[in-house]
Amino acid sequence: MRLVMLLCGIAAGALLAGCGSSPVGETASPNKSIAMRDPAKMTDADWRQQLTAEQYRVLREKGTERPYTGEFWNTKDEGTYRCAGCGEVLFVSDTKFDSGCGWPSFYQPATTNDITEAHDTTHGMVRTEVMCSKCGGHLGHVFEDGPKPTGLRYCINSASLQFEGKKEEKK
Ligand SMILES: [Zn+2]
């Protein structure tokens, strides 16, 4: 009888000790999301996984979509155009104009900080390449034959952009 009591006591003690020593705060796991990743740390494999084949070809390999084939060349809806690579706001619909060239065209970026320019002499032409400042993704080129007030034409691939309509309801 004494032995049983003793064993019960040990068992109860072990249970209490177990409760008392359970770690606090270890159950809260960090909230990780692919969309929140730092684009500078994305590897080539990460980009291939995140982008469609066409987006990858344009953004990461500086490809150019065929004119009149992209999603936004003729879009006239009001809204915001974001980088398809990192989500940065690049252009707004107010500055989009009908250039007739078959690619979405803007006379200025949303802010100049969002766009990085580079000298491009490929394909036997001297052009100014424009890239997303945040993720380095290739967007298109800027030409000096645009309308007022800037006289610039940002000729951008649809594949580099994501459109966010103004009337679209936010969830
Ligand atoms: Zn970007």
* Domains defined for the chain, CATH in brackets: 42-165 (2.170.150.20)
Å from CA of 124 to ligand 1 middle: 27
Please list the active-site residues: 155
What's the 102 CA to ligand 1 centre distance in angstroms?
22
The CA 68 to ligand 1 mean position distance, Å, reads 23
Positive or negative torsion for Cα 31, 32, 38, 39? negative
pLDDT at 37: 76
Long-range CB contacts (within 8 A, 24+) of 29-34: none
Q: Give me the helices (H) in 77-130, please.
A: none
Answer yes or no: is pLDDT of 31 > 60. no
**What tokens were used for 156?**
């951008």
Q: Are strands 105-106 and 96-97 parallel, antiparallel or unpaired?
A: antiparallel
Whole-number Cα distances in Å, 20 to 11, 13, 16, 17 = 14, 10, 6, 5
Q: Nearest Cα to 109, choosing from 85, 83, 70?
A: 83
- Model-level pTM greater than 0.85? no
pLDDT tens profile 98-135: 999 999 999 999 998 999 999 999 999 999 999 999 99
